[in-house]
Structure 1
Amino acid sequence: MIAWFTVVLIAVACIAGLLCTVLGLAGRRPSDLSVGTQALILVLLVVQVVISIIAPFVGNPPSGDLLEFWVYLVSAVLIPPAAVIWALIERSRWSTVIMGVAAFAIAIMVWRMNVIWTIQVA
């Protein structure tokens, strides 16, 4: 993983999570803004997939369990589309909050992926 890209991805996910949570608690239904944040996170996660495929070949192999890393990454890629589908089916203020929670979950998962890739003790 690339450290600066990890920080960008976590920051974008946290900002998106905060924005969607605040919009949802303020009573706003899913809109282009809230769904767009999930699309941005998904694009960044797809870039992370490409980085994760290329990184071992250019001298940046993971120090942790590769299977665990990929399970986290694939799961993280599936969360934004699932949250958007939920939001488009339900279309209530709570579905906007769910998109915020999904973004926070992705931020935590990306942090864990960074730990798996770079820091292993034992």
Structure 2
Amino acid sequence: MVEWFTFTQIFIALAAGALCLVLGFAGRTPSDLSMGPIALVTVLLIAQLVMAAIAPAVGNSPTGSLLEFWMYQVAIVIVPLLAMVWALVERGRWSVVVLGVSGLAVAIMLYRMWVIWTGA
């Protein structure tokens, strides 16, 4: 994993999660303002997936469990996608809260993936 990219993703996921939580608790329904940041997080996670697949070939190999890392990698892409589907189907204020929780969960999972990769 590329350290600067990972911590940038964590920051963006935390900001997106906090924004969605504030919007959800304020009673807002899903809109571009709440779906956009989570969609950005998802795009960055797909980029992370590609980078993690290429990294060992260029000499940046993981030091932790490879199986555990890839299970996190697959799950972390699914979490915001399912939250966005939920927000599109339900269209209530609580679906925006779910978007926020998914952003926070992604941030935590990214940090755990970085720990697995670096062995920190």
TM-score if structure 2 supplies the norm length? 0.98
In the alignment, which residue of structure 2 is the partner of 1:9? 9
1:49 aligns with 2:49: yes
SS in 2 for 1:108: helix
Structure 1 residue 119: deviation in Å?
Answer: 1.5
| Identity rate, percent | 57
Q: Superposition RMSD on alpha carbons, in Å?
A: 0.7
Q: CA deviation at 1:94?
A: 0.6
Deviation, 1:76, is 0.5
Residue 87 of structure 2 corresponds to which residue in structure 1?
87
SS of alignment partner, residue 72 of structure 2: helix
How far apart are the structure 2 equivalents of 1:72 and 1:10? 15
- The one-letter amino acid paired with 1:52 is A
- Alignment correspondent of 1:36: 36
For residue 96 of structure 1, what is the aligned residue in structure 2?
A: 96
Give the gaps of 5 or more residues in structure 1.
Answer: none
Structure 2, unmatched stretches of 5+, are none
Per-residue Cα deviation, 1:14-59 (whole angstroms, up to 9, x for no partner): 0000000000000000001111111100100011011101110111
| Number of aligned positions between the proteins | 120
CA distance in 2 between counterparts of 1:114 and 1:23 reads: 29
